[in-house]
Amino acid sequence: MRDVFIYDHVRTPRGRGKPDGGLHEATPVELVRQLLVALKQRNGLPDDSLDELVLGTVSAAGEQGATLSRIAPILAGFSDRAAGLHINRACASALEAVSILAAKIGCGMTEMAIAGGVESMSRIPMGADGGGPHGIDPRVSNHTPFVMQGVSADLLATLNGYSRADLDAYALASQQRAAQAWSEGRFDRAIVPIVDVLGTVLLAHDEHIRPDATLETLGALKPAFADIGKTMSFDGLALQRYPEVDRIEHIHTAASSSGIVDGAGLVLIGSAQAGAQYGMKPRARIRAFITLGSEPALMLDGPTPACQRALDVAGLVPSDIDLWELNEAFAAVPLRLMDTMNIPHDRMNVNGGAIAMGHPLGATGAMIAGTLVDEMERRDVGLGVVTLCAAGGMGIAMVLERAG
Instruction: Please give the Cα distance from 182 to 333 (Å, whole number).
Output: 24
CA distances from 259 to 122, 253, 356 (A): 12, 11, 7
Outline where DSSP puts E strands in 73-111: 83-87
> Quick check: helix, strand or coil at residue 201?
strand
pLDDT of residue 125: 87
Query: Which DSSP state fits 208?
Result: -
Q: DSSP per residue over 292-339, as a string?
A: EE--TTT-S-THHHHHHHHHHHHT--GGG-SEEEE--SBTHHHHHHHH
pLDDT of residue 127: 78
**Is 250 annotated in the active site?**
no
Kindly give the confidence (pLDDT) of every residue in the chain, 404 residues in length, as a single tens digit, with 9 standing for 90 and above: 899 999 999 999 999 999 999 999 999 999 999 999 999 999 999 999 999 999 999 999 899 998 899 999 999 999 999 999 999 999 999 999 999 999 999 999 999 999 999 999 999 988 777 777 766 666 766 677 788 999 999 999 999 999 999 999 999 999 999 999 999 999 999 999 999 999 999 999 999 999 999 999 999 999 999 999 999 899 999 999 999 999 999 999 999 999 999 999 999 999 999 999 999 999 999 999 999 999 999 999 999 999 999 999 999 999 999 999 999 999 999 999 999 999 999 999 999 999 999 999 999 999 999 999 999 999 999 999 999 999 999 999 999 999 97
pLDDT of residue 142: 66
Query: Which DSSP state fits 259?
Result: P
> Quick check: helix, strand or coil at residue 136?
helix
396 strand-pairing partners: 291, 388
Query: At residue 62, what are phi and psi to the nearest 5 degrees?
Result: 55, -130
**Is 91 annotated in the active site?**
yes
| Contact (Cβ atoms closer than 8 angstroms) between residue 79 and residue 44 | no
pLDDT of residue 135: 67
Instruction: Please give the Cα distance from 348 to 284 (Å, whole number).
Output: 19
382 strand-pairing partners: none
In 197-271, which residue ranges form alpha helices assigned H by DSSP?
Answer: 215-219, 226-231, 234-241
Residues contacting 369, CB < 8 A, separation 6+: 6, 9, 94, 95, 98, 267, 325, 386, 398, 400
Query: Which DSSP state fits 65?
Result: S
**Is 107 annotated in the active site?**
no
| Contact (Cβ atoms closer than 8 angstroms) between residue 327 and residue 91 | yes
pTM: 0.96
The single-letter code of the amino acid at 86 is H
CB atoms within 10 A of CB 377: 15
**Residue 230 CB-half CA count within 13 A:** 8
The DSSP H or E segment spanning 110 is none
CB atoms within 10 A of CB 184: 11
Instruction: Please give the Cα distance from 148 to 238 (Å, whole number).
Output: 10
> Quick check: helix, strand or coil at residue 26?
coil
Q: Which of 9, 24, 208, 359 is catalytic?
A: 359
pLDDT of residue 216: 96
pLDDT of residue 230: 92
Q: Which of 24, 91, 208, 307 is catalytic?
A: 91
Residues contacting 282, CB < 8 A, separation 6+: 5, 6, 7, 272, 275, 403, 404
Query: Which DSSP state fits 386?
Result: E
R_g of the chain, CA atoms, integer Å: 20
Instruction: Please give the Cα distance from 68 to 28 (Å, whole number).
Output: 8
Instruction: Please give the Cα distance from 61 to 131 (Å, whole number).
Output: 11
Q: Which of 9, 250, 307, 389 is catalytic?
A: 389
The DSSP H or E segment spanning 149 is helix 149-160
pLDDT of residue 138: 65
What is the 3 state secondary structure string of 164-197? HHHHHHHHHHHHHHHHHHHHCCCCCCCECCEECC
Chain centre distance of CA 234:
25
CB atoms within 10 A of CB 232: 15
Instruction: Please give the Cα distance from 224 to 164 (Å, whole number).
Output: 12
